[in-house]
Amino acid sequence: MSERKVLNKYFPPDFDPAAIPRRKQAKDAQHKVRLMTPYAMRCETCGEYIYKGKKFNARKETVEGETYLSIKIFRFYIKCPRCSAEITFKTDPRNTDYIAEHGASRNFEPWREERIAGEESKLQKELEEENNPMKALENRTIDSKREMDILDALDEIRTRNARNERVDSDALLDKLLESDQNTEKSEKEKEEEEDEKLARSIFTTVDGDRVKRVIDEEPELAQLLSESAKSFVIPKFKNTSSAGDNKGKEGNKRKNTGSEIGIIIKKKKIENNNSLGSLMENYGSSEDSE
């Protein structure tokens, strides 16, 4: 089966390529190409920013009279997408880059400036070494010292990594946990000390005496009674009549809750000092009647 697109052509035995007439073309002829912008730029006419990688239909031509080590330099023409102003840039085989030529300015690139500055300093250093051998010796000494410092730093990093590999992770975690617990404990102790200092400052007078807190407790009944009330004997009542149930109940109540009488006596004494004497007279008259 024959191929749809034949790549190999048939050349007869008597074919002579020198007999083919060459096409004449001008040296400054331009070709239409499709390209992407090699760097970010800004149009000088309208101020439009053109980012790196934007596609354009461009025209390409060979720059006459400019070569670098027999390498041709090409120029490209594009149009601004906003104002259609013409922008040109050309190749730079020396620095493997492109040079902005007309119509747009290249955006600032710090890494590019650093690289250019480094290359310039390197060229200047080489020129100084060619003219001054002592300067070349000094530069070599500085370079060797720098290499030794780098090697020492690498050895230190290797030893530290080897030491870290031998460390037990579980033991390290336990140690970190213990340190956290110690810090928490120390913080609690500090807080307790601060609270204690604050309490001392509040409950201590200027003379250094401690202020005691009064406990709010109910006093006992014996403390409330006076000496005369304590010496008073509470009489015992007997329930002799069955008809007087009310009197018997009152007597039993007085017999069982003698402390209540004492409380009543104290209250009455506080209200009126003569109430105790009248109560004793009433008790005496009741005994005489029995």
Tell me: is residue 80 an annotated ligand-binding position: yes
139/122 Cα distance (integer angstroms):
12
Specify the pTM: 0.42
User: Which residue in 242, 241, 222, 240 sits closest to 232, CA to CA?
Assistant: 222
Tell me: is residue 46 an annotated ligand-binding position.
Answer: yes
pLDDT by 10s per residue, the chain, length 290: 566 777 788 889 999 999 988 888 777 789 999 999 999 999 999 999 999 999 999 999 999 889 999 999 999 999 999 999 999 999 999 888 999 999 999 998 888 878 878 888 888 888 888 888 888 888 889 989 999 999 999 999 999 988 878 777 788 788 888 888 889 988 988 898 888 888 877 777 766 666 666 555 666 666 666 677 666 656 665 555 544 455 554 555 444 444 444 444 444 444 444 555 555 556 555 555 55
State the residue for tokens 């006093």.
219
**Joined tokens for residue 109:** 């690139």
The beta-strand segments (E) located in 23-109 are 31-36, 41-43, 49-50, 55-68, 71-79, 86-92, 97-102, 104-106
Q: H-type helices in 72-220, by residue range?
A: 110-131, 133-165, 169-202
Instruction: Name residues whose C-beta falls within 8 Å of residue 34's C-beta, 6 or more positions apart in sequence.
Output: 55, 56, 57, 58
> Is 83 one of the annotated binding-site residues?
yes
**Are the beta carbons of 53 and 14 closer than 8 angstroms?**
no
> Could you write out the DSSP letters of every residue in 233-246?
PPPP-----SS-HH
